[in-house]
Structure 1
Amino acid sequence: MVFGLFSKKWNPDGKHVYITGGSSGLGLSLAQILATKGANISIVARNQGKLDSALESLEALRVSKNQIFKVYSHALQPGSAAVAALELVSEPYGGDAPDAVFTCAGSSKPMFFVEMEEQDLVDGMNNAYWLQAWTAWAASKKMVKQNKKGTKIVLVSSTLGYMSFLGWASYSPGKHALRGLADTLHSELLLYSIDVHIYFPATMYTPGFDEENKTKPEIVRKIESADEGVTADQAAQALYKGVESGRAHITGDLITSLFSASTRGATYRHNWLLEGLFDMVAFIAIPIWRSSVDKQVVAHREEHRQYLEKNGFFS
C-alpha cells in the first residue's frame, strides 16, 4: 500500500483467521463467509453449546478437505486470558500467530447514566473496549515477535464510535476508545507490516440486540427508529469487503458513512469522489440530525422525571 492509495485485495484462502465472539451474531456470520473463501478458522467464545452449533455450520460450508475449523470456550480478559486464548488457537499451527485476528466479542447495556451503578460503568468499558483491546495487544506482541508480516488485526466499534446520544454512557466511550486504539495501531504497526482495520456497524439485529433491548429506554428506541438496521449477515459482508479492499475505517451503511465523513480526522480516504460527496452532505445533514435528537430529548424531560420518581430515584 502506498499512502493508502493503492492496495492488493486480501485473500483469506488458506490463511488462519482467529475470531473472538464468533459463536453468534456478527462473528459467526463473518466466520461463515470466510469458510466459503477457504480460510482456516478458530473461534473463541464462552458458550459451548453455541460454539458447537457454530462449528457444525462451518463444516457445512467447507470448500476444501484441508480447511481447519476449531472452536474454544475460553475467557478473553484480562490480558493474561487473552494471551492464553491466543496461544490455544495457535497450537494447531505450530504456535504460529494467526494471519488475521477479528475481535468481534462484546456486549452493551443501554441505560440512563444517573441510574447506573458503579459496576455498570466498569462492565461497560470492559465489554465495549477491553474485551477487544486485550486480544489486539496479545496478537500484536505475538505477530511482532515472530516477524509475521502481512498479518491483520481488525477491531469492531459501532456507529456510536463516531457520535453518541442519551442511553449509551456505558458503551459509547469504549467504542470511541477503540477508534483511538485502531488509529494509533494503524500508524504504529506499520513498523512491522501489520495492517489494522476497524469496523463501525450500524444497528445489527442479533441476539445481542435482543439482550440490550431488555434495558434500553423507550426514548432511545424512538431515536434509533430512524436507523433501519442490518442483519448480521449484511454487516459481516460489509466488514469482509472492507478488509478485503484494505480500508482502515469500514462502514456499511449511509448513515454511518456520513458520521464517518464528518469526523474523519487523519484517516485515509478510500474513495475520494464518494467520500467528498459524503463530506458535503454531512456538513448539512449532521447538524440537522443533532438538533432533531436534542429536541426529542428536551421534549422527554417531564416523562423522564416521572419515570425516575416512579422508580424511586429521588427517594
Structure 2
Amino acid sequence: MDNLRGKVVFVAGGSTGLGKAIAMSVAARGADVTIFARRQAVLDKAQTDIVEAAAHPDQQVRAVSLDLSDASQASLPDTSRLFHVSVVSNPVWQCEHVFGVQPRLPDVLYCVAGGCVSELGFFIDLPAAALESCMRKNYLTSAYPAHALLRLWTRDDRRQGQPSSARPKLRQLVFISSAAAFANVPGYAAYTPAKCAQRALADTLRQEAVAYSNAASSYTVHCAFPATVLTDTFFEEQRGKPALTKRIESTDATADKLRAKYPSARDVGEAIVCASVDCRGAGAGASDFCICTDFDTSVLWSGMVGPSTKRGWGLVDSFLALVSGLVVWPLLRRSWNRMCAEAGASGEAGKT
C-alpha cells in the first residue's frame, strides 16, 4: 500500500493514542509525516514507532514540540530528529510560523489533540477552570492549527500564481471530533460542548473550502466521529468517570471485557485514514464530510446531519435518520432518564 508516497501529512496531537495511530497509518502508506504535541520525550518515542511503521527508509518523520492550544506562543525544539533533516531553534514562535518553517507544507492536516482526563464529572462538581481547559484542549487545539495552515495554504496559492498542472493540488483538513458530539451524556458537561464546537468549525470550514478552492488547489474538509477507543487516555479517564456515565455509555466493565468489546486506536486510526485519503486511489481525497467508524455512530449522525452533507447519495443517512428519530432516540432517552433519576435518588449525582 503506497498511495501516499510523496505526500506530506501533519498530525496535530500525534504523539499518543489515536493521533499516533493515524501518523503510523499514513507513514505505512508512504507519506512523510510531522507530528506536533507538547511533550518532547513522548514525541521522540512516537517518532521512533512511526519510523518503524514507514513503508520506505527515505521517508521523513519529524517530531515538533508545540503547544497547540496557545495562539501566541509555541516552543520549537533545538532539533527535530529525522533521517537527515534538522530544524534550527527559535525561542518563541507563532503556530503559523512553526508550520511555515517546515520543509514543505502538508497535503493533509489531521487535528487529533484532545481528552478530558481532568475535566470529567457532573457539571456542578467541576471547577469553573475545567470548562475553559477542556475547551482549550479539545477545540482550540484544532482551531489554531487549522487557522494557521489555511492561511499558509491560501498564501501559497497566491504565490504560485498560474498552476503548472491542469489538475489542482488537493489540500485536506481532517478534524477528529467524537461521537459525544451527537450524544450528550451526563459526566461530559465540559467535554461535549468542545466536541460540538469542533464539529461546527469543521462544518463552517467545509463551506469556506469551496470559496478557497481555485485552479491551483482544491480544498476539502472532513470530520471523524469515533466512539469509544481503547487508548491509555481512555483508561485514565475511566478512573475519574462517574458511575452513571459508565452505565450510560456501557463502559462499566473490567479492562479485559472492555478490550474485547471496543476497538483499539490502531483499528480506528486505520479506518479514519482509509476513509479520509481513500485507499482505493493514489491519495485521492474522500468525498464525504462525515467519517463514522462504527454503525451505532452512523445512526446517531443521521439524526444530527443538519447543514452537513449526507454520505454517498444520501439514501442511507436518510433511512437511518428515520430509524434514529422514531426508534433509537425515544428508547435511549427513556433509558437514560431512568438511569439519571436513579442516580439522583441514590445521592450519586451532584455531590457539591
TM norm structure 2: 0.79
Q: Are 2:225 and 1:215 aligned?
A: no
1:147/1:192 contact within 8 Å kept: no
SS at match of 1:19: strand
Matches of 2:191 and 2:57, distance apart in 1: 41
TM-fit CA distance, 1:48: 2.2
| 1:306 CA drift (Å) | 8.0
1:1-315 alignment runs, 5 A limit: 11-81=3-73, 84-93=94-103, 96-108=104-116, 109-147=119-157, 149-193=169-213, 194-225=219-250, 228-244=261-277, 245-271=286-312, 272-283=314-325, 284-304=327-347, 308=351, 313=352
Native 8 Å contact 1:205 1:231 kept in 2: yes
Structure 2 CA distance for aligned equivalents of residues 65 and 39 of structure 1: 11
2:122 and 2:350 in contact (8 A); partners too: no
Shift of 1:217: 0.5
> For 1:248-307, what per-residue CA distance to the aligned partner results, in whole angstroms no more than 9, with x for missing partners?
011111111111001111222223343233223212112211221111111111223587
Number of the residue aligned with 1:6: none
Change over 3 Å in CA distance of 1:307–1:187 after alignment to 2:
closer
Measure how far apart 1:45 and its partner are.
1.1
Q: CA deviation at 1:174?
A: 0.6
Matched AA of 1:184: T
Structure 1 pair 115–169 and aligned structure 2 pair: CA distance change class (3 A): same
Q: Which residue in 2 is equivalent to 1:3?
A: none
C-alpha RMSD of matched pairs (Å): 2.1
Q: Identical aligned pairs, as a percentage?
A: 28
Task: Say if 1:34 and 1:306 are closer, same or farther in 2 by CA, change over 3 A.
Answer: closer
Unaligned runs of 5+ residues in structure 1 are 1-9
CA distance in structure 2 between the aligned counterparts of 1:59 and 1:250, rounded to whole angstroms:
27
- Describe the shift of the 1:84–1:306 C-alpha distance in structure 2 as closer, same or farther (beyond 3 A): closer
2:94 partner SS: helix
Moved more, 259-268 or 228-237: 228-237
Q: 1:297 is aligned with what amino acid? A: C
Which secondary structure state, in structure 2, belongs to the residue aligned with residue 71 of structure 1? strand
**Whole-angstrom CA distance in 1 between matches of 2:21 and 2:311:** 25
Provide the residue aligned with 1:4 in structure 2: none
SS at match of 1:265: coil
SS in 1 for 2:35: strand
SS state of the match for residue 56, structure 2?
coil
Distance apart, 1:234 and its partner CA:
1.7
Distance 1:56 1:63 in 2: 14
**TM-score for the superposition, normalised by structure 1:** 0.88
Which letter does structure 1 place at the counterpart of 2:174? V
- What letter matches 2:221 in structure 1? V
Distance 1:220 1:197 in 2: 28
The residue type equivalent to 1:103 in the other structure is C
Structure ranking higher in helix proportion? 1
Q: Deviations over 1:215-257 (max 9, x none)?
A: 2101111111179432101211221122123320111111111
2-structure distance, mates of 1:60, 1:230:
22
